[in-house]
Structure 1
């Protein structure tokens, strides 16, 4: 009883009236002050979230409150002062996802016209056609790293929408590595900058207990701790190289040679070689990739068979299988990550051959040797099966001094 009373007193004390002579409260009375940067310190809570402040009680304060803003609502707010940035960002690859979608469509050889994220919004995935199955997979299991999604519900991957995906609404400043890694984790380029490479999913290949407890998984999966990128060890953050001009405006795309111009030794750094080989081919320590992944759309799954694969970098699937293991009733539904509307069926995936030590070489659009990520993804529902083959040049962010044996192999290949 004493604990309950103390709890109530603490919560009541947490909301302080404006002054002793009034019973009105402001947002800050209960929630504290948001640690906004000086440039945004003039903003009030109401500017973004509406509601009423000051107010006599919680009900009046929260009337017409906008807790979860849509990307469009965020853009309208930011556009008041940042119209140039908003207009430029709407054409950027982080906003449109055009390049990513184009690559996925090409890998599956599907004749669908999906030019960008917005053109995917009105499409309804169905279970009767290959195209419908593909769209359903994109909207419910695949594309969680875009401005219309809040990401997976892990502590380091959950974020706001729109401009707030990168510019945390509680800071409204320059994005830190934390904001970048809320999308660029797992096998995506970015986690490797910190030396992380994700573990396989199956329970026998994941991290052992630490003092009798499962290790924390702030990104949804444990990771091997490999050598971090040399630029990280020198103290560089993501945005030190990837500037606003590149990310938001699509200008001044960075490359290694943007900074590294005067080489002391010329054996491997001759101009004719650098025109034929991308730097990461010799200097990358590792590149993470999933050789084979198979995803099943199940409308009546036997969840008992999936217990050992409950951890598959989907917080939604993890929560459903977790409830099942506790004997609770579960709903066989997943959300559309664009609309948050639930739909029948679960996308349950298996993963084979997750690696970080394989090095494949290919050629990019300019004909230069590159590091090739080779992956295969199969989608299955009843009698429908489609497979995507992906071979993509990637700029691994695991840069080090260089592999001399790999460099000599490259020289032989060039001859």
Structure 2
């Protein structure tokens, strides 16, 4: 047995030796350094083969991005490159070459200027002047008045969702700039397609989120910032928050449930002034009346048909038949009865701080702002050097001292605020201007404390949460119309 084992061992070494000699005679494979490197061909596609253009924009990349499409060297190819051709500062010379009228209309639209929003807030805080666009909001050097404090709040806390910036880097919030904000798709700050399309709802919601008109259309109500309302409730492990803050899932608007998208009712919202669309624009139509021209509507027999802008699906529009509509048409807005719920955030506290006392904000690290959240998480829990207490200008990107925290007295949705407007109509209101502004210095000196504007801060609002009116719809406005019989 021992001799048998010895013979096997000898055979093994002989075979192994032969293989070693064969391998030694074979030419060695080329090393990584000897391999032939591919030679880049001139043109953008050599480096960006994944970019696919739609049929309407199938032309050289340099027509929009400039640069040099005839060379292979990156530095030469990028000479004069416009990285963001759709940005408001460049879109006239790029997009405007083919779409001059659309660009001109967009530049004057409220989506580009935000003039309604900024002037409403500034006037409420005491400003006497009216600004034409968000870029005109002053940059205060030394904050000495409530208006200056409000201007700093607008530029660094509020004005982050607009066409001059790409938004917060949350997955569903990041978007393009200028024309690209509405006509191209982004996810996690990355452009997902070069195909230009009509604005889809995900484009709209990249700005219209966080208890802003539009998110209610999808039944989304943002949670409170306090960690007691976080979901999961008690964890510091990262988890997906597509819109920055977790949301409650409430009843979406009946139009959304039927498949209508935002631009079915707001077809020209990004390009100039359009005729205001009301509920009665569609539902107030009766056979014999002209078809409203502002939407994709047509008459078929005795019915009014709306064709979906992107789906091409046809929807039969219900007309007003219940006599109660005529009874209260000149007194009560439609959503007083038909809104299922509304945003009711009371009170919104905005606190500008240069103090390095971060511990008091531990329960409020989720702030609806990635910039504030990152600073708090790092300075509270990291052993590395603290980040500077500074925040960027939402328009220019300039970093300036001080940071804006945010919180609420309470966030509710179930009890709508219904009152009489200045024109005598009964409407739904929301506390948009129920603001309290404060400021503390690096020495913990409280310079401004709960500054506010006049009144309750209520503004009329149209909840995009339409549904059937409940059995007791009159109870919503009975207290405002004393002539309603108590048993009706």
> Is TM > 0.5 for Structure 1 vs Structure 2?
yes
Of residues 446, 451, 465 in structure 2, which corresponds to 1:398? 465
What is the root-mean-square deviation in Å for CA atoms of aligned residues? 2.7
Corresponding position of 2:334: 279
Structure 1's unaligned 5+ residue stretches are: 1-8
Equivalence for 1:288: 343
Structure in which a larger fraction of residues adopt helix: 1
User: Where do 5+ consecutive residues of structure 2 fail to align?
Assistant: 1-31, 186-193, 287-318, 440-445, 484-488
Q: For the Cα contact (< 8 Å) 2:91–2:103, is it kept in 1?
A: no
Matches within 5 A, 1:349-368: 349-364=406-421, 366-368=423-425
Pairing 1:384–2:478 present: no
Which of 167, 189, 204 aligns to 1:180? It is 204
Contact 2:344–2:416 (CA<8 Å) still a contact in 1? Answer: no
- Paired residue for 1:84? 101
- Establish whether residue 337 from structure 1 lines up as the match of residue 337 from structure 2: no
Checking the alignment, whether the CA contact within 8 Å between 1:89 and 1:248 is kept in structure 2 is yes
SS in 2 for 1:158: coil
1:87 to 1:266, Cα distance in 2 relative to 1, 3 A? same
Of residues 252, 258, 267 in structure 1, which corresponds to 2:281?
258
**2:262 is the counterpart of 1:238:** yes
Which residue does 1:164 correspond to in 2?
Answer: 180
CA contact (8 A) 1:75 1:162 kept: no
Deviations 1:189-238 (A, max 9, x none): 10111111000000111212699965411110000011111111111111
Equivalent residue, structure 1, for 2:90: 73
Indicate whether 1:227 and 2:244 are aligned.
no
Is 1:371 the counterpart of 2:454 in the alignment? no
In structure 2, C-alpha distance between the alignment counterparts of 1:355 and 1:409, rounded to whole Å: 17
- Write the deviation string for residues 41-71 of structure 1: whole angstroms up to 9, x where unpaired: 23x3222222332432333333333324541
- Asked whether the 8 Å contact 1:139–1:336 carries over to 2, the reply is yes
CA distance in 1, matches of 2:141, 2:345: 25
Distance (Å, rounded) in 2 between the aligned partners of 1:212 and 1:99: 39
Aligned twin of 2:480: 413
The alpha-carbon distance between structure 1 residues 355 and 408, as it changes in their structure 2 partners (threshold 3 A), is closer
Q: Distance in 2 between matches of 1:353 and 1:409?
A: 22
1:130 aligned residue (146, 158, 166): 146
Query: Are residue 200 (structure 1) and residue 227 (structure 2) matched?
Result: no
Matches of 2:236 and 2:366, distance apart in 1: 19
1:331 Cα deviation (Å)? 1.5
Taking a change above 3 Å as real, the CA distance of residues 187 and 231 of structure 1, as seen in their structure-2 partners, is same
Deviations 1:101-139 (A, max 9, x none): 22212322333443432422x543532332221111110
Tell which deviates more after alignment, 372-381 or 66-75: 66-75
Q: For 2:179, what is the secondary structure of its paired residue?
A: helix
Superposed displacement of residue 162, structure 1: 1.7
* Structure-1 residue corresponding to 2:169: 153
Question: How far 1:353 sits from its partner (Å)?
Answer: 0.4
Aligned to 1:3: none
CA distance in 2: counterparts of 1:320 and 1:214, whole angstroms: 15
> Given the superposition, is the C-alpha separation of residues 320 and 213 from structure 1 closer, same or farther in structure 2, using an over 3 Å criterion?
closer
Secondary structure of the 1:383 match is strand
CA contact (8 A) 2:337 2:476 kept: no
Q: Is the 8 A contact 2:251 2:340 kept in 1?
A: yes
- Displacement of 1:366 after TM fit? 4.2
Q: Which moved more, 1:216-225 or 1:130-139?
A: 130-139
Deviation at 1:265? Answer: 3.8
State TM-score, norm by structure 2. 0.75
Report the counterpart of residue 272 of structure 2 in structure 1.
249
- Rounded Cα–Cα distance in structure 1 between residues aligned with 2:140 and 2:89: 21
1:157-188: CA deviation from partner (whole Å, max 9, x where unpaired): 11222222212273322010011001110110
